[in-house]
Structure 1
Amino acid sequence: MMSNSFAKAPAQVSARVFFVLGDRIERRARLQGAWLNIFDITVPAGSRTPLHRHASPEVFRIIEGRLTIRRATENGIDEFEATTGDIVRIEANQPHAYSNPGHQAAIFSAIVDSDMVEFLEAAGSQEPPKAAPSAETRDRMNAAANAHGITILAA
């Protein structure tokens, strides 16, 4: 009997790649008609996201490097290091953020829903940033966040 729990997907020749606050985001898979989307996200050394929350849950799997993850719990902010192979679950509406404290880029896969995809595509740019995110880049990200139900809690 053949199992249908594994499917080999060919590499996408023209995978959608864009940049949000310096992170390189590449769509790896999307199930049509479902919420499942998988992105590989490359986080440069020193890069971070602001503390934020949104209605959709997320799952991260660290592929390479390390990230400092911050997420709110009943006891306050929990901060921990996630390294290669670790899986991190972010609940719906759970405030969270990540940063790369290392000297090398970190890479993780993120499983997100269609609402997050729409935000990432609206906030993203086609060109990698040449320096720290500009005021224009931050304004675009904040406008996209507001339009897609994402609350930025701290810069």
Structure 2
Amino acid sequence: MLDTAISERAAHLVDPRNVETLDVLGPVVQFLTSPRDGEPCVMRGTIPPGVTVPLHSHADPETFIQISGEIEGLSQSQKGFVWVSIRPGDIFHVPGGAKHAFRNLSTEAAVMILVSTSRIGRFFREVGKPIAGESRHSDPPSAEAVQHFLKTAAAYGYWNATPEENASVGLSLT
């Protein structure tokens, strides 16, 4: 068996049952690869039924590969914002700086693979709450957790829409 220092830099299988798991204000993020500078960060994200990811943007590109369930992703064009259905097998790409959001209007969890930067991974670590074991249920985020999220996002240079801007695209934050 390889020692830890060598095994982290060697090709290896990832056991998705034994990875760092975080509740990020409702959605769950699991690190399939750790955030390391100069390497992509690969995560599995789960958006529970009825949960939204509010309108936001950041310099980091993200590519989402839908595995199961169905969600809607918000895209912006010259004609304005439009919701796009994302189903298993679909790939939703968000270039750096693009405004986007997600909503799960279905009755089942939506699971996707997310490929992004190590910076996004570090951000999730700073704002997420560790989840141990098989528990995937979380309480609604506290006001303190939301404020910590917004303060940390601002420190990273990430933009978050106001409640009014979210409402204008069909998202309620209550």
Query: Is the pair's TM-score, using the shorter chain for normalization, greater than 0.5?
Result: yes
- Please tell me whether residue 136 in structure 1 is matched to residue 116 in structure 2: no
TM-score of the two chains, using structure 1 as the length reference:
0.87
CA spacing shift, 1:15–1:152, aligned 2, 3 Å: same
Question: What's 1:153 paired with?
Answer: 161
**SS at structure 2 position matched to 1:49:** strand
Question: What's 1:103 paired with?
Answer: 107
Flag the structure with higher strand content.
Answer: 1
| Gap regions ≥5 residues in structure 1 | 1-6
Question: What's 1:121 paired with?
Answer: 125
CA spacing shift, 1:140–1:90, aligned 2, 3 Å: same
Stretch moving more, 81-90 or 12-21? 12-21
**Per-residue deviation, residues 57-93 of structure 1 (Å, max 9, x unmatched):** 1000001101110022222112111011100000110
Q: By how many angstroms is 1:33 displaced?
A: 4.4
Number of aligned pairs?
A: 149
**Per-residue deviation, residues 117-149 of structure 1 (Å, max 9, x unmatched):** 121111101246643222112112111111111
Question: What's 1:92 paired with?
Answer: 96
**1:22 maps to amino acid:** G
Question: What's 2:45 paired with?
Answer: 41
Percentage of matched positions with identical amino acids: 24
**Per-residue deviation, residues 82-126 of structure 1 (Å, max 9, x unmatched):** 011100000110000001111011101110102211211111012
Question: What's 2:170 paired with?
Answer: none
CA RMSD of aligned residues (A): 2.0
Q: Distance in 2 between matches of 1:30 and 1:132?
A: 26
Question: What's 1:4 paired with?
Answer: none
Q: Distance in 2 between matches of 1:146 and 1:18?
A: 20
Q: Distance in 1 between matches of 2:151 and 2:39?
A: 23
Q: Is the CA contact 1:69–1:79 (under 8 Å) kept in the aligned structure 2?
A: yes
Question: What's 2:87 paired with?
Answer: 83
